[in-house]
Structures are given as C-alpha cells and as structure tokens.
Structure 1
Amino acid sequence: MLALLDARARALTAGPPALPLRAGYRNLLLGPVDRAGRCAATAELTVEVTGYDRWPVVHPRRLALARSAAGWRVEHEEGTDGPPPPWDLGTVRAEAGARCLVLGMDAGGTPAPTGLAPVGDRAVAAVEALWGTAWAGRLLLEVPATGEQFTRLLADGQAGWSGMAAVTVAAPGAPLNAPADRVLVNPETYAGLSDFGRQVVVTHEAVHVATRADTRAWTPLWLSEGAADWTGYRDANRPARRIAPELARDVAAGRLPAALPEDAAFTAGGEGLAQVYEQAWLACDLIARRYGPQRLVALYRAVGAAAPGADRQAWLDGLLRDGLGLGLAEFTRLWQAEVRALAQGPS
C-alpha cells in the first residue's frame, strides 16, 4: 500500500517539465475491506515546493481503494477539508523566474496566463528596494485556469473575492508562524489589466509576503493595504488623480471621507472598495512624501511590534506621535486635505 501511495506522490512532480515538489502521504488509516476487495481510507497528502516552503503544505484526503490479483489501486481520491491542491483542478505546469516560481493550472484545455515570471521577478526587486532583504526574497504564484478555480482555491471560498486580481494566501496546514505565503492570481481579472496594472498587483502582493513577519492582526488595514499599494506605484511617476480616480470622482461629487477607513471597509466585494484602497494609498503616500519612504517602513514595523490596549485610537495616536511627530487627529486632517486636493490636481 505504501509503495502505491509513494508512486502516486511521485507522479505529482512528473510534469513535463518536472515540478520542484517533494510530495508524500502520511497518517494512512484504512477501513475494513469488503467482499469485493474495496475499502475506504484517509490520509494526509503533504507537498513542499522546493526552495519556497519551509514546512509541507498539508491536504487531508479521502481515498477509495480496490484490491485485485494485480494488487491495490486507487479508484478515487478527494479532499476532505480546506482548499484543494492545484493538481485537483488540472495539469500543473511550472514557469521559473530568477526570484519567483509560477505554478499554472491547465484545466480542460483552458491554460493559465503565462509570462508571470518576469512580473514576479520585478516585484521582488521592487519590494527589496524599499523593505530590505530580511525575508525569503522569492515569490510563489499560483495561477488557476478560471475564476471559478480561483474561488475554490481560497480558504474561505467567499464569492466577494471574485473581482480581485490577486490575493496573498497562507499555505494550508502549515504552522501559524510559517512564512509559506503564496500569491493566488485570478486569471480572469488579471487578464483584463494593462501590463502596468499587472505589475502593480503582483508587487502589492509581494509586499504582503515580505512584510508577513511585521504584520499583526492589529495592524490597521489602511496601513497594510496602503503600504502595499504605495510600493506598487512607487516608481510609476503618475499624478495622484490617476492612481486614485474613483476617490477623485467622489471628491468632485462632494463625498469626502470623515476618517481613515476602518478595517471592515476592506471586505472583499464591499461597496466602494476601490475608493477605500485609494484612501489607504493616499495616506501612505502622504507619509512617504512628507517624511520619506523609510519612515513609512519604520512606522509599519513599529505598529506590528506594539500590541494595542483597550483604546485602539490612543494606541495608534501614540505610535504616530513617536514615528511622525503628530497625532492621529492631525494626521487625519492632513490626509483629508490631500483627499480634497484630488479635485484640483493634474490628471
């Protein structure tokens, strides 16, 4: 039985070309064998992407086994919990870059987008230029063939994510502190972007991978999402109104935000999500322009290092005073002035 499963695991790496994986089955539990020589079993399929995963990704599996004169065979295998492994959705092909690996799924003749490796390489370089090298310095991208597959590969399966071009997800089954993050690309939304937009998206997600060690549950999403967007647009040399067009239209219509966006406003599929991200970008752009990019990085890390008490506003106020020399109320007023200026800025 173990030889059968070992051969099945090796087949995952076969390609072509050969995939850089270490795969195997563990914790095999066999049910009773019936008169027809069949039995049910459960096991864990572990897969480690060589050079990217520090711990194996774990996929609980259910197997239907049958015995004949030739020995045991697997009649059926399926997942029991969490998102499926990529090869459940079709043939997986690898595209290697200098600093990234792209695993694309080819389902029923529908291939995943190609050409992502150079985009990933540029994203890694852009992130290192701002955030330094105290992270793995490489990027793993998974690209399903369809938007429906993209939703299936998300841990929560929320339909609201369907409009997102990419999402950074944690490897299922890895320890909570494992830096085994990978970027899941939505092929349908990604395909509709310009080359510039694609680069911004992948660089944004690469920031989330690079800053995982400095990001905590209490890090405000306006800071984590805004810093990721700011890094993506850093060398774009584009006016603010082109980076934040939805927010600029709101300003022109007299709709001004009263405060920095709350975490709940970033819910996938939520109303006005584009404006929320643009608000976050503008807040981080304000910090980087007024105090320098490294002050933005330092503030980000300081926020992650200091857990808030009961009064979250006072906590953030103190961190802003320490990092920027002004409190939350004054920073918010400066940010609101930047928002209003969108109405008069260059297009």
Structure 2
Amino acid sequence: MTGTARFRAWLVAAIAVTLFGGVVLLVGQPATGPGPAAPSTGSPTGQGAPPLSQTGDSEVTALLRSRAAAVLHRDRQAFLATIDPRATPQFRDAQAAMFDNLADVPLSVWSYDLDPTDVVTVPKGAFPAEELWAPEVQLNYALAGVDRDPTSKPMGYLFSRHGTRWFLASDTLTSRNTWRGPWDFGPVTALRAKSGLVLTHPDDADLGRRIAGELDSDVAAVSAVWDQPWPREVAVLVPDSTDELKAFVGPEFAVDSIAAVAVADRVDNGNHTAIGQRVVLNPDNATKMPVASLRVVLRHEMTHIAARGYTVDGTPMWMLEGFANYVGYRDSGIPLPVAAADVAELERNGTPPTDLPSNGDFAADGDKINLAYDEAWTLTSFIADTFGQHALVTLYLRIAGGSPKADVGAQLHDVLGVDRAGLIAGWQDYLRRKF
C-alpha cells in the first residue's frame, strides 16, 4: 500500500452502533470484568446474609459521595479512606495511582449514581468481609470547558462491610464491567486550548502539544462549513498503549490501522445533542503524519463530532464520510489528484465510478475502502463546487437526519434538483475536468 493510500485508510472513522433501550450508543463502553450476569433475586451478598438494610444502603451512598468529593477537592487521604484495608495491594495501589493521575484533569463533575434494586450475586468467599454488596453503580463525570453535560460510565464495584463500616473492596470481582479512563493507564497531562482539551500521557506530550496547537483553527474550520449549532469545544484523547486505545474505541476495531476515531456515549437526535464525545487518536500512526495530514484527520473527526447529533443510525456512509472528508481536506493544500489517487487512476483508465459507493464498500479491506473514501470525497466536493457549500450541508441534514429507508433519489431532487442518475452523470463530468 502506498503512503498516500495508507493515509487514506487511517481516516477510517468507523462508527460501531448498538441500540439499547432506544438510545444510540456509537461506541459501546469497553471495560474489565468476567462478563455479564443476571441480577440477583435472593441475597445480595451471595453468602446467605439477609437483604441489605436501608442503613447500609445509605452508608454506601455516603461512601460514594465522600469518594466523589475527595476527587473534586483533591483530598487523597479521604479518597483512600474509602478503600477496604483488606483489599489486595494491587487494587489499593491502582486506586491511589488513579487518584494521583487525575491531578491535572479539569473536572466540573465527578459523582456516582447507585441503584440498590439492581444487584448481582457475589460468590461466597470472593472477599473476606461480614457482608458484600454489588449494586449497579454509574460514574458521572464531565471535563470542564468541554462537556456541557456529564457522561455516565459503568463501574463494577464490590462493597464490603466490617462491623458498621462499609468500604470499596474491588472493581473486578463481580460480574459487572468497570470502565477505564485515561487516568487508569498512567499520569495524565491536560493541554488546554480555547476550543477544547487534549488529554495525553507524558510520553506523548509532544504530540499532545501539536494537537492542542491545532484545536482552535480546526474547530473554526469545521464551523466555517457546518452552520448548525454545536458545542465548538472538543476533547481529544491520546492513549499510549493498544490496551488503552481499545478501552476507548472498543475491541472490535483493528486499532493498528486507524489514526483516529470519533466516539460518543449517547445521542439524542431529537434535540441534536450527543454526550461524551471524544476524538481518540492513535499516537503510533498520528506521530508519523506531517502537519497537513494531521490537520485533515482532526478536522475529519471533528466534523463527525459537530454533526453527530444530526446523524441517525444507518446514514449512507458516502454522505457521512464524504462530508467529513470534504471538511477535512478543505483548504488543506493537498491537491485532489494526490489525495484521491484511486479515483484519479480510474478516470485515467477510462473507468470512472458508475454508482454511489455502498456501505459495504466502507467495510472492505485494502484498496476497496480507500476507493470508497476517495469516491465519497470527490462526490461531496462535486456537490459543494456545483451547487454550493450550503446545499451540501442541507443535503447532509436531509439524508443523515432522515429515515435510512428514505428514497435518496427523492432527497437529491428536493435539495439539488437532480435525481440519482443526474448526480452521477454530473460527478463523472466533474472528475473528467479535475483529473
């Protein structure tokens, strides 16, 4: 694969979609733990103890409040006091390290929600205590200056009672999953810009500074095209290991071949909002990129961030990725024949595209996925150059915000005044003139 082709493959911003209770989760939350289990229908301890008393429920809730306050107020002693003294040294050390690693992270929210009615059974002898309890716990956190609303993450906590006191005993001994954040993988360096925040680790600080220096101009570049409301503040995560990268984007990604992925926790298309949005970079690939290429990648992913609340599940990928590439390459200085080399070759061989790229083309390997991205980008460039940039945005809103089963030909006619065949014919003529 040529360097140019490899770069185009790195632009893959695949969106893993899971429907859960009517909420679109663009990336399922990776975590640790043995796997899901059915909620307990008997003793919450799994040790024959009676159901947890209301007093115990209140004490665990108070423990979580104390833990959250300790994080926000940087009270290390109070934080560590919530950990069971009988917990394994590995867990105690990991919790202490996590607290220390959060020191530079600007947090506006850090709190916990507990559901005492959703409890899983803990095997007898799992931990030495008079009573064990494993209710559902959600961590709510928000990055200051980026998150307007907190996002929620699952925490597979196991609580233990000794006498009248409750502690946090483990986050891996139950069947629940525990989400891991950047602070679980090492010290975090926070680099601020007017338009966002970069969270990286000391070993990747140089790359983090490059990204932070790009944020303001890249957000402005996206906003120059995307004229709909969006936060215009972006959080970029720079993991420093494959395990950390997979923790943020999901184990289903072939992380070695991507440069960046845009992720979100929850999307509300009705209100055009998305919560927990992040751009996750692969430093192994991003560090190899020259300035122009990194800029294209960041603007591409930020376009997904900006448009996420307006994009329904099942949107044609040529619209989704073609639009992001249009914004990414706009004013990049990278010539069309260079960046869209595969389409240029088709045109030179007298075999231009004869149809819109299918969603399956974007899930293919090697040259086929590169061609799909090239075709989508040149198609959206044709639309912007011929009908105007505003028409391209309007078309995106119509297609991405409508039903995936809608007639694309009718949508094209409503916005551009041409049908599918007319669009393809005009695109082919555009390619002849450009290449």
Shift of 1:49: 2.0
3-state DSSP of counterpart to 1:114: helix
Preserved contact between residue 87 and residue 105 of structure 1 (Cα < 8 Å) = no
- What stretches of structure 1 of length at least 5 have no aligned partner? none
1:316 aligns with 2:408: yes
Counterpart residue number, 2:81: none
For residues 104-158 of structure 1, what are the alpha-carbon distances to aligned partners after superposition, in whole Å with 9 as ceiling and x for unaligned? 245xx67683111221221110011111251112111122112442122114x21
Greater Cα shift, 67-76 or 196-205: 67-76
Residue of structure 2 in register with 1:44 after alignment? 138
Corresponding residue of 2:180: 84
CA contact (8 A) 1:19 1:93 kept: no
- Aligned letter for 2:64? L
| TM-superposed deviation, 1:241 | 0.6
Match of 2:111 among 24, 35, 38: 24
Question: Greater relative contact order (Cα 8 A, min sep 6): structure 1 or 2?
Answer: 2
Q: Is the 8 A contact 2:191 2:212 kept in 1?
A: yes
Q: Deviations over 1:206-234 (max 9, x none)?
A: 11111123222243211121111111111
Given that 1:65 and 1:75 are in contact with CA atoms closer than 8 Å, whether structure 2 keeps it comes out as: yes
Paired residue for 2:283? 187
CA, structure 1 residues 268+117, in 2 after alignment: closer, same or farther (shift >3 Å)?
farther
SS of the counterpart of 2:321?
Answer: helix
- 1:1-347 → structure 2 map (5 Å cutoff): 1-2=60-61, 4-10=63-69, 12=71, 14=74, 15-27=102-114, 36-37=128-129, 39=132, 41-42=134-135, 43-65=137-159, 73-78=167-172, 80-81=176-177, 84-105=180-201, 113-115=207-209, 116-132=211-227, 134-155=229-250, 157-171=251-265, 174=266, 176-177=268-269, 178-180=273-275, 181-252=277-348, 256-267=352-363, 272-307=368-403, 309=405, 312=406, 315-339=407-431, 345=435
Amino acid aligned to 1:19: P
SS at match of 2:286: helix
Secondary structure of the equivalent of 1:333? helix
Report the more deviating stretch, 174-183 or 116-125.
174-183
State the shift of 1:67 in Å: 5.8
TM-score by length of 2: 0.67
CA–CA separation in structure 1 for the residues paired with 2:402 and 2:267 = 22
Looking at structure 1, the residues matched to 292 and 336 of structure 2 have their Cα atoms a distance apart, in angstroms, of 16
CA distance in 2, matches of 1:188, 1:202: 15
SS in 1 for 2:156: strand
Judged with a 3 Å threshold, the aligned counterparts in structure 2 of structure 1 residues 12 and 271 are, in CA distance, closer, same or farther, namely farther
Q: Is the 8 A contact 2:259 2:282 kept in 1?
A: yes
Deviates more, 1:27-36 or 1:54-63: 27-36
Change (3 A) 1:17 1:217: closer
Contact 1:27 1:44 in 2 (8 A): yes
Q: How many residues align?
A: 334
TM-score normalized with structure 1 length:
0.83
- Post-superposition CA distance 1:5-55 (Å, at most 9, x none): 345435555544352241122216587897942635342222122343344
Q: 1:175 to 1:285 in 2, by over 3 A?
A: closer
Instruction: Give, in angstroms, the shift of residue 98 of structure 1.
Output: 0.3
| Percent identical residues | 28
Moved more, 235-244 or 185-194: 235-244
Distance 1:110 1:99 in 2: 20
